[in-house]
Amino acid sequence: MANALEVNRLTKRYKDFKLDEVSFVLPKGSIMGFIGENGAGKTTTIKAILNLVKTDSGSVQILGMDNKKNEKQIKQEIGVVFDGSNFHDALKAKDISKIMKGIYANWDDSLFNEYLRKLKIPIAKTVKEYSRGMKMKLAIAAALSHHPRLLLLDEATGGLDPIMRNEVLDILLDFIQDEEKAVFFSSHIIGDLEKIADYITFIHEGKIIFMESKDDLIYNYGIMKCGADDFIKIDPNDIVGYQKNHFGCEILVRDKSKMAHKYPDFLIDQTNIEEIMLYYVKGEKR
């Protein structure tokens, strides 16, 4: 399976922050969730992928093309949605369609109108009259209506209520069904990513902590619980991170089946992506 996106050792230095040799790959036919706390480097990474910031080193391949040498061609093949509306307040949906037709060679009026109907976006109102959630839906509809092969979303569902978010998530799942397209989806709403993502990439303080299959994260990781006196018996190599409380210790482990055999007297619970992220960032190390 070919990759829609390949990021290799991408580095960008600022005065008080460094994007530090970021690397990951996004296969075609899949959705990648990009997670991390505020200031971790998510938006900087996306801007670097789009060649909106000048990087110090590293490379980006989008649909098999270099993001700098082939920038003009690439931007005909991708759809991008940032957190917020980039359309002028005085525009109506039909005006946006006319503008986009002059930008994208493959702009599809009928597809745009189909998304407007599907997402219940009012065509008679101006952007100024839209709610924040409606503006986000309009941006998503526009990003999808020139038949892109890669969609990059930066907190694009943050302004949507749960019903609206489910509508958008369904559209994203439909988008990748032909196995030739892909979605790179940065979001703080971990529940959305648990519903639709195939892969999760976690960035912390400018560094990639892991890129793993979502199913592996959910089904393999676990929280092992033991008393404070038993904690010393655990091999430090088995501990991703731990927290102590009044009842003992809770330890994030990568392979709960293996740990269940190794430590049969300890209870091991299932975990979720948000907990895994918290233990990596806030958990203590041994």
**Tokens found for residue 86:** 């980039």
How many helices and strands, by DSSP H and E, does the chain display?
Answer: 10, 14
**pTM across the whole model:** 0.91
Q: What is the SS3 assignment for 271?
A: coil
78-81/3-13 β-pairing: unpaired
Of the candidates 128, 118, 124, the residue with the CA atom closest to the CA atom of residue 93? 124
pLDDT at 62 over 80: yes
pLDDT at 2 over 90: no
Q: Which class does domain 3-215 fall in? A: alpha beta
* pLDDT tens track for 234-248: 999 999 999 998 888
Bridge partners (DSSP) listed for residue 22: 10
Least confident of 32-36, 219-223, 280-284: 280-284
* pLDDT tens track for 144-182: 999 999 999 998 887 788 888 999 999 999 999 999 999
pLDDT at 256 over 60: yes
Sheet holding 78-81, edge to edge: 78-81, 150-154, 182-186, 31-35, 199-204, 207-213
Phi, then psi, of 213 in degrees rounded to 5: -60, 135
> Residue ranges per domain, the chain?
3-215, 221-282
